[in-house]
Structure 1
Amino acid sequence: MDNFNWNKLFDILTKFSPINLYKFTFNYGGLKLESLKLFLDNWNERHPVLLEIHSGDITIRDLMKK
C-alpha cells in the first residue's frame, strides 16, 4: 500500500463525486500530506465536506485546522 496513488484517488473523487456527497473517512496512516492539500484545494469550489482521517500524523492534523 506504500505505492498507493493518493493523487489519482483524490482527483477522481473531486471530478466524479455526486454533488450530495459530503463525508469521507480514511483509515490509513500512509496518506501523503501533499495529496491531501491538493484534494482540499480542488474541492474548494464544491460544497463543504466532512473529512475524517484516522492517522497519527500531526502534520495532517495541522493542515486540517487551516
Structure 2
Amino acid sequence: MGPAILRLKPGKYVPLKGGKREKSLQIMQGKMQVPYLVDPNTGVKMFESAQIVKYLKQQYGG
C-alpha cells in the first residue's frame, strides 16, 4: 500500500450540507463555525482554534 502521505489528495474541506453534525453545531452555537470544542469533562465550549489549543494544553497538557 505504501505510506499514507502518498495516497492522500489534499484539498479544501467542504462539509456536507444538511448533515446531523451541521444541525447540532447550529443548535449549540446559533451559527455554523468549525472547529468547535465541547469538553464534556468541564463543560467548556469554544470555537477559536488558538483558544482551543491553549485550553487543551492548559487542561490536559503535560
How high is the TM-score relative to the length of structure 2? Answer: 0.23
**Bigger proportion of residues as strand:** 1
Higher relative contact order (CA 8 A, sep 6+): 1
Query: Which of these two proteins has the greater Rg computed from alpha carbons?
Result: 2
> TM-score, length-normalised on structure 1?
0.22
